[in-house]
Amino acid sequence: MAKTKPSIPKGTRDFGPEQMVRRNYIFDTIRSVFRKYGFLPIETPAMENLSTLLGKYGDEGDKLLFKILNSGEFIDKADPEIFRPGNSNAASLAICEKGLRYDLTVPFARFVVQYRNDIAFPFKRYQIQPVWRADRPQKGRYREFYQCDVDVIGSNSLLNEAELVLIINEVFEKLKIRTLLKVNNRKILSGIAEVIGHADKLIDITVAIDKIEKIGIEAVNAELRQKGIDDSAIEKLQPIILLQGSNEEKLSVLRNVLKDSEVGVRGIEEMEELFRYVDAWGDLSTQIELDLSLARGLNYYTGAIFEVKALDAEIGSICGGGRYDDLTGIFGLPNVSGVGVSFGADRIYDVMLQLNLFPESVSSTTQVIFSNFGDKEVAYSMPAARNLRNAGICVEIYPDAVKVRKQFEYANKRNIRFMVIAGENEMQNREFSVKNMETGEQVTIAFENLEEYIKSNL
């Protein structure tokens, strides 16, 4: 009987050592920037109670939640009537009490409320963990992927938004990804919905226009009609969401368009203040654009919203987030405002791989390998290997006394920079032969000078 070939679920991936070294380079780079700005790490469980997750992401988001079956005889305990056709959502809730987290923001809000007596506000946290979405897998979109979140909660200051812009700029500068940061404000979107006569349809409008890049303006208009937005309102909406010009010019036009909307004017004032802060930081490598079609379909955003695109790669957003004024209120702690962004590590990885942006130094963790010609040679090499490790250099000793050609092949496959060779002649003269595996150059170095030579040539 033929055995089934092992496989993994669609939308998930295995990562080998070379990939993990590169992924850790991304995580370490992002983490180092977070720490520079005073953020502290936390972790939350992979699964949360469904009551924590449901209703926080809108109807479309709720459909993408992975639900976990209750343990034990869950079918026997459920009402059979609930399993009738067309009642799948209620049926799943009857047999599932937990789900895999959809993002890190809602679990963070739950964390803040649960431990509010143990943390100091404003609370600045970062979190680097996987999330899960029951989405259709496609290029750049996975069912399991890592997010690198950074949030400030317990402060209304727009200085927090400005510092997030700085963090975005610095992370992508370090990773050498040219980026465009699109910004908008949900208050502006609320004002737009108000002036076109559909303030009650804000969610429908934002969910639709958030898809402009994916499906085009005509398809967006068709969706708006399906949601009950009349043609007159859709016509008024077009020049607003497709507004061109500099950020200042767009805000100037909006001031006139939204002059009768109190919430819309407040959104414009917030954007102007954010741009003033950003200008005060000086020139940034990241381009910043006010994009009125940017809506980010999550219901909990209430102020500034952010989305980052890679300029040199065809892929979705690689970072996004925004201001949420009362996310903790649903867990019993009202009127606590927060703002944050999430870096999509998996998409960042794909962009860097596509553009060949990973430094050669992160293709292998091992920098030096010592040859092995027998027990005496290994014993001779051990103190030198230990000295290099104590100096912070990553070192291996080849474990088996095999032909040197096989040891060279191993070093090449692992992208190890230096092979340190100790044979009979080297031991007699208390020295090593050091071969640069990249250039093929080989030199003889005194035992006591090995560390200095390796350090100066790495």
Positions at the binding site:
103-105, 133, 147, 151, 296, 300-301
Comparing CA positions, the residue from 344, 293, 347 lying closest to residue 315 is 347
Comparing CA positions, the residue from 439, 436, 438 lying closest to residue 454 is 436
Alpha helices in 96-245 (DSSP H): 105-114, 159-174, 186-195, 202-209, 212-215, 217-226, 231-241
Q: Report phi then psi at 345, rounded to 5.
A: -60, -40
Provide the token pair at 176.
Answer: 């050498």
Q: Any idea which residue has 């867990």 for tokens?
A: 331
DSSP-assigned letters across all residues of 393-458? --EEE-SS---HHHHHHHHHHTT-SEEEE--HHHHHTTEEEEEETTT--EEEEEGGGHHHHHHHH-
Separation of alpha carbons 306 and 185, rounded Å: 9
Comparing CA positions, the residue from 139, 163, 134 lying closest to residue 63 is 134
Contact 438, 415 (CB under 8 A): no
36 by Cβ neighbours in 10 Å (0-12 / 13-18 / 19+) ranks as exposed
Q: Report phi then psi at 98, rounded to 5.
A: -130, 160
What element of type H or E holds 132?
Answer: strand 123-132
Angle at which helices 17-36 and 345-354 cross, to 10°: 120
CB-facing half-sphere around the CA of 392: CA atoms within 13 A: 3
Q: Which residues contact 215 (CB under 8 A, 6 or more apart)?
A: none
Residues in the annotated binding site for L-histidine: 103-105, 133, 147, 151, 296, 300-301
96-116 in b/e form (b: 16+ CB < 10 A) is: bbbbbbbbbbbbbbbbbbeeb
Comparing CA positions, the residue from 231, 175, 163 lying closest to residue 198 is 231
Nearest 5°: the CA angle 438, 358, 41 is 130
Provide the token pair at 8.
Answer: 């993994």
> What are the C-alpha distances in Å from 256 to residues 69, 194, 259, 262?
53, 14, 5, 12
Comparing CA positions, the residue from 375, 422, 371, 412 lying closest to residue 395 is 371
